[in-house]
Amino acid sequence: MKKKVLFTGLALALGAGYALTAFSQAKPEVLVKQRQSAMTLQGKYFGPLVGMLKGAPYDANVVARNAAYLDTLSQMPWDGFAESTKGEKTRALPAVYSDPGKFKQAQDQLRTAVGALVAASAGGNEGAVKAAIGDVGKACGNCHDNFREKQ
Amino acid sequence: MKKKVLFTGLALALGAGYALTAFSQAKPEVLVKQRQSAMTLQGKYFGPLVGMLKGAPYDANVVARNAAYLDTLSQMPWDGFAESTKGEKTRALPAVYSDPGKFKQAQDQLRTAVGALVAASAGGNEGAVKAAIGDVGKACGNCHDNFREKQ
């Protein structure tokens, strides 16, 4: 009985389409869905910080929480850009696959900017935090400019 | 020039459809996309752990990393189940909205199980880690059984 409950839970937890082995073997469409999910959640938690640059009330607690979330989320999209996904219909530009060094640099720029935002949000200086939010935005924009099709 | 680059970056970072104010004001379809993204990523990082229960090689480093990721991700879906999303076409059952207390309990069960997995993965006992993985699976399954439409 216990075993049955366990396996029901696990099957449901995984849903359809997830490989039970290492996720590097996941299907291309699953990898795309996963990397787009990471981008969606980065947008969810970065959006309110941009709002604070644009006049929404500054909330240091929200900044600190979202910065920590972004520190985790900004590690998640990259392994989804596997060679196997080249044929999927997405906005990823060919440069993702033809210039992996530059793509990695753009990822590192984001990771560095998010790390600086985490540090700034711990420091408590609103001006420094806002500058750090701006730098994260530049890192997002730099990567999108070079590696994502314009809409 | 600097300002232009900044705003280009920010606009791209947010993409279409994100409110610039607090995300509690996000459109229902955005909330749904965000909560589903959190579920997708929980699947991405929980899947390999289930694989280890089912015979894939045990890798303590992967467990520790994924447990930490899940500790963050498992905080993310819940504010997406706002009343405003009741009319969206999703697999969320009416009980999400009619029995918020039980829904919250199911969320807490997951958070507790993930916390125990983080602790177990720091402890380094493979048997304890695997039991903790099973408990996370049960928490996923319990919530899906009660709050998600069967496929």
Tens digits of per-residue pLDDT, A118-128? 999 999 899 99
Q: Positive or negative, the Cα torsion across B10, B15, B16, B18? A: negative
Q: Do B20 and A51 touch (CB under 8 A)?
A: yes
pLDDT above 50 (res B93): yes
Long-range contacts of A51-57 (CB under 8 A, 24+ apart): A51/B19, A51/B20, A51/B21, A51/B22, A52/A130, A52/A133, A53/A130, A53/A133, A53/A134, A53/A137, A53/B10, A54/B20, A56/B20, A56/B21, A56/B22
Q: Tell me the CATH number of domain B26-147, given options 1.20.120.10, 2.40.50.100, 1.10.357.10, 1.10.645.10.
A: 1.20.120.10
For B20-36, write each residue's pLDDT tens digit.
444 447 999 999 999 99
Q: How many CB atoms lie within 10 A of CB A103?
A: 20
CB contact set of B88 (below 8 Å; sequence gap of 6+): B28, B29, B32
Query: Chain A residue closest to B149 (CA)?
Result: A12
At residue A16, the 3 state secondary structure works out as coil
B1, β-bridge pairs? none
User: Does this model's pTM top 0.80?
Assistant: yes
CB contact residues (below 8 A), chain B span 107-136, against chain A? 134, 136
Q: Do A141 and B12 touch (CB under 8 A)?
A: yes
Q: How large is the average pLDDT for residues B5-32?
A: 60
The band of B2, judged by pLDDT with boundaries at 50, 70 and 90, is very low
pLDDT above 80 (res B130): yes
3-state per-residue secondary structure call for B43-100: HHHHHHHHHHHCCCCCCHHHHHHHHHHHHHHCCCCHHHCCHHHCCCCCCECCHHHHCH
User: What ipTM does this complex have?
Assistant: 0.87
User: Scanning the structure block, which residue is given the tokens 């015979």?
Assistant: B55
Q: Do A54 and B20 touch (CB under 8 A)?
A: yes
The band of A4, judged by pLDDT with boundaries at 50, 70 and 90, is very low
| Average of per-residue pLDDT values in chain B | 89
